Amino acid sequence: MPCIEARGLRKTFGKTVAVDGVDLRVEEGRILGLIGPNGAGKTTALNAILGLTPYQGELRVLGRDPWTARDQLMRDVCFIADVAVLPRWIRVSQALDYVAGVHPRLDRAKAEGFLAKTTIRNTSKVRELSKGMVAQLHLALVMAIDAKLLVLDEPTLGLDILYRKQFYDSLLNDYFDRSRTIVVTTHQVEEIQDVLTDLMFINHGRIVLNCSMEEFESRYAEVTVNPAQVAAARALRPMHERQVFGRSILLFDRVDREQLSNLGEVRTPSIADLFVAVVGNQSGQAQGAAT
């Protein structure tokens, strides 16, 4: 049974279509990156998955309808948003008390073990913590809950690079066990490229790319083209072309790498570069690549 399965998922706000007939399937034990521009429908889709908003179409999360069976679903799901939801007046020890009281699957000793690796004191109030420390506290609470699905919506927004790296290192080393499933949205896509198992782009409420990272690495190639080979490279119909320091960099889909190696330096593109090619300029060429 997939962890998340949707068919024709749709959500409107008045005349605005936030999620437009989405089909998706997320298998158990995967780490999915859901990437899209602001207003693309990412958070709306996550809210539907979490049972926070009604929707049209079919949606099952861990085999349940999240809108009608949210109480049962939340026993197996955890969520971290970009907005700190802990009251600023609460002490760390009180936050542990509270979560232990409302969630039957919190392992308090585990949470305290995670916090012991940080500089956060049990007696500190949330308002005394930096944004990075609040993120560490959130993660410690979440990682100590025996959940099957973890949803992260811009979890490291506003954190410096050290805290962001620590966050994802902790997630992989201390939480992910290949049976749990993680869905993460972020604009800092380079930092999760080596974390993900699957990648999905959403734009204007529709899924415009959906692939595993294995497919991503085998299917797409970026070439810094030798000046004399630019015409030959363009003849192979690249998805996207950009200029860097006077050199042409072309991105290709399903073109033989050996053939490309005759044109210049070949490498796997970054998620950000592929995102720009598929979503960024909304030209006919980019739209064609998205289908």
- CB atoms under 10 Å from CB of 180, counted, come to 19
97: in domain? yes
172 with 236, same domain: the answer is no
33: in domain? yes
Distance (Å, rounded) from C-alpha 38 to C-alpha 257?
Answer: 34
Of 172, 204, 236, at which residue does a domain stop? 204
Domain with 253 in it: 215-290
Phi-psi region of 85 (alpha: psi -120 to 50; beta: other; left: phi over 0): alpha
198: in domain? yes
151 with 33, same domain: the answer is yes
Distance (Å, rounded) from C-alpha 52 to C-alpha 134?
Answer: 23
61: in domain? yes
158 with 229, same domain: the answer is no
Inter-CA distances, 22 with 6, 57, 210, 212, Å: 7, 9, 11, 18
Strand order in the sheet with 181-185: 77-80, 149-153, 181-185, 31-35, 198-203, 206-212
Beta strands in 155-239 (DSSP E): 181-185, 198-203, 206-212, 220-225
Residue 79, beta-bridge partner list: 151
Distance (Å, rounded) from C-alpha 182 to C-alpha 166?
Answer: 17
Task: Print burial letters for 246-257: b (CB count within 10 Å at least 16), e (below 16).
Answer: eebbbbbbebee
222: in domain? yes
209: in domain? no
89 with 219, same domain: the answer is no
Closest among 134, 178, 141 to 158, alpha carbons compared: 134
137 with 243, same domain: the answer is no
Of 184, 204, 224, at which residue does a domain stop? 204
Report the number of distinct structural domains present in the chain. Answer: 2
108 with 155, same domain: the answer is yes
For 78-117, write each residue's pLDDT tens digit.
988 765 678 889 999 999 999 998 888 899 999 999 899 8
- Asked whether 192 and 33 are in contact (CB, 8 A), the reply is yes
The tens place of each residue's pLDDT in the chain, 291 residues long, gives 899 999 999 999 999 999 999 999 999 999 999 999 988 999 999 999 999 999 999 999 999 999 999 999 989 999 887 656 788 899 999 999 999 988 888 999 999 998 998 899 999 999 999 888 888 898 899 889 989 999 999 888 878 888 888 889 988 888 888 889 999 999 889 889 999 999 999 999 999 999 999 999 999 999 999 999 999 999 999 999 999 998 999 999 999 999 999 999 999 999 999 999 999 755 444 334 333
Of 150, 184, 204, at which residue does a domain stop? 204
Inter-CA distances, 200 with 7, 12, 210, Å: 16, 21, 4
